[in-house]
Structure 1
Amino acid sequence: MSTTLILLILCSVMLSSIAQIVLKTGMSNPGVLNAVQSGVAMQMITTISTNLYVIGGLTLYFASAAVWLLVLARVDVSFAYPFVGLGFVVTMLLAFFINGEVLSTAKVIGTLCIALGVAIMAQG
């Protein structure tokens, strides 16, 4: 497996994880929360679809998908897909450091199990 392909896989995972944090930031915006709580569909659609963080997060997801398509064109999905599990690790760490989310023991142990599984799958 070439270094370039591994980097493409990791790039896709990172873009997806960053997209989660950016989307969470957008959806935590007071204006968005008020629109969601209002229950008025048109207000929710308008407010969410014009939030720059939501637009940015969706753009990052699109970029992640585009990179992922490059990966799938070159490697077996059974090899590449387990790396998506690393997204759990990256997203949890970003949520902790950027959003100040709490890391429980269960979250850390579960995430370490996922990382171990990815490491085992990557061996072959």
Structure 2
Amino acid sequence: MRSIDTATLVGIAFSVGSTSLAQVLLKLGMERPAVQAAMQHGSAIPFSRAVILEPQLLTGFLLYAAASIAWMLVLGRIDLSLAYPFVALGFVLVLLLSWLWLGEVPNLPQIVGSLLVVSGVLLVAAGRTA
């Protein structure tokens, strides 16, 4: 097992941050009128065309691709059992981004749950790097 160095931590942060931002962009893109109309049409061809032409959706897909590359680099440097718990931070980041950009105000259980997630990730990371 190798410990987490700065480059690996940056890779983790980039991957988790990119996938979280991608989720927000996918949500925003799916709410666009052209995409909604294509979904109502019920056919895969108009929907696929609308998705391809929607910049927010394309950007979300590209962020997922970049995050996947960064994640592969992370996995090449540290144990999966050390790296993977950090993915849970995406739940917290999506909650925060959804509040800031989408106006989805978190409720008390979501806030408490997010604090538990962060605590759990810190506990796992501290136990593996000690």
TM range (shorter): over 0.9
Q: Quote the RMSD (CA, aligned, Å).
A: 1.0
> How far off is 1:67 after superposition?
0.3
TM-score, normalised by the number of residues in structure 2:
0.91
Select between 45-54 and 69-78 the one with higher mean Cα deviation. 45-54
> How far off is 1:34 after superposition?
1.4
Give structure 1 stretches of 5+ with no counterpart: none
Which 4+ residue blocks in structure 1 deviate beyond 6 angstroms?
none
Give structure 2 stretches of 5+ with no counterpart: none
Select between 26-35 and 78-87 the one with higher mean Cα deviation. 26-35
CA distance in structure 1 between the aligned counterparts of 2:5 and 2:41, rounded to whole angstroms: 51
Name 1:58's counterpart in structure 2: 61
1:38-53 matches, cutoff 5 A: 38-53=41-56
Give deviations 1:17-76, integer Å, cap 9, x for gaps.
111111111111011111112212211111112211111000000000000000001100
CA distance in structure 1 between the aligned counterparts of 2:103 and 2:41, rounded to whole angstroms: 27
CA distance in structure 2 between the aligned counterparts of 1:106 and 1:49, rounded to whole angstroms: 37
